[in-house]
């Protein structure tokens, strides 16, 4: 992978770590903890200190049953965080996690470098905002509402096809494929068995030819497999991170940056040693 995100050129197979900053009152894992801008800014800087390569700031929860917010409210939550991180001299790239063109525009003006769209460009205007700004895009797979699991026959093949279609929509809107990262949308309108199948099927998604980002952090499938509560899912998250890196995924999106980075680096060393042995 070779991609410019803000001031940094990401070159190579990774692993790269995206740290999560939820400036929301109702996210499934840390709702309300970082709603105040000062707390969110401090958390973002802490994630950078722990080794985050990219900080993802969101102002609207995608937790099942969460209330929608207006663009104005979302802007009020995320812009002070992005501007505050930049005001403290932090040059680590920032992504704005939003589906709304107004929010993306305001966040980019405040200093964000990437748009992370969990709706897979459901709003054509968002695609136009991204194309005009010339910034990278994370296209995350979504089918239906996050709280209502969709029915799949072959989840890997269907997610691959729908991501390919979204990539074509992005290109038609003026976003070059070489500025797009793809995300299979773990936990988004999917059953635990779908998430496990997607993690097992990551090589098929790599065949789409774009860098992959996977967000397994503290997700429901870990609880379904282990019985662990949300706050006790770090070990399961690390297992999923390891699987992602061994499968060649470039980016992992996590709440717990320091342990995830350690797991990812060890997995990458094993991955690279296996590749050398295969040659």
Contacts of 238 (CB under 8 A, 6+ apart): 259, 260, 263
DSSP reduced 3-state for 77: helix
164: annotated active-site residue? no
247-98-133 Cα angle (round to 5): 90
Q: For the chain, what is the total number of helices (H) and then of strands (E)?
A: 10, 10
Please state whether 239 falls in left (phi above 0), alpha (psi between -120 and 50) or beta.
alpha
CB 173 within 8 A of CB 215: no
Residue of 143, 253, 261, 271 with catalytic role: 253
- Dist CA 101 CA 169 (whole Å): 16
Question: At 4, which helix (H) or strand (E)?
Answer: strand 2-5
Q: What are phi and psi of 139, to 5 degrees?
A: -100, 110
219: annotated active-site residue? yes
Q: How far is CA 98 from CA 95, 115, 149, in A?
A: 9, 7, 21
Residue of 77, 143, 190, 219 with catalytic role: 219
Catalytic machinery residues: 219, 253
């Amino acid at each position: 992978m070779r991609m410019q995100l803000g001031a940094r050129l990401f070159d190579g197979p990774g692993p790269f770590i995206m740290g999560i900053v939820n400036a929301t009152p109702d996210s499934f894992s840390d709702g309300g903890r970082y709603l105040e801008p000062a707390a969110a800014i401090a958390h973002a800087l802490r994630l950078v200190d722990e080794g985050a390569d990219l900080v993802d700031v969101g102002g609207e929860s995608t937790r099942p049953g969460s209330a929608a917010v207006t663009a104005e409210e979302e802007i009020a939550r995320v812009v002070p965080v992005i501007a505050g991180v930049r005001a403290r001299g932090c040059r680590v790239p920032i992504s704005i996690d939003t589906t709304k063109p107004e929010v993306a525009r305001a966040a980019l003006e405040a200093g964000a470098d990437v748009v992370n769209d969990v709706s897979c460009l459901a709003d054509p205007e968002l695609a136009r905002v991204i194309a005009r700004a010339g910034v990278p895009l994370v296209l995350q797979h979504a089918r239906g509402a996050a709280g209502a699991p969709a029915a799949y026959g072959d989840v890997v093949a269907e997610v691959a096809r729908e991501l390919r279609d979204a990539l074509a929509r992005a290109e038609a809107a003026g976003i070059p494929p070489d500025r797009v990262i793809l995300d299979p949308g773990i936990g988004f309108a999917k059953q635990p068995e779908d998430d496990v199948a997607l993690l097992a099927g990551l090589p098929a998604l790599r065949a789409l030819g774009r860098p992959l980002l996977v967000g397994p952090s503290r997700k429901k499938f870990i609880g379904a497999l282990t019985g662990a509560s949300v706050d006790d899912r770090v070990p399961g998250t690390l297992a999923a991170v390891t699987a992602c890196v061994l499968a060649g995924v470039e980016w992992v999106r996590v709440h717990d940056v320091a342990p995830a980075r350690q797991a990812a680096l060890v997995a990458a060393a094993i991955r690279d040693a296996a590749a050398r042995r295969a040659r």
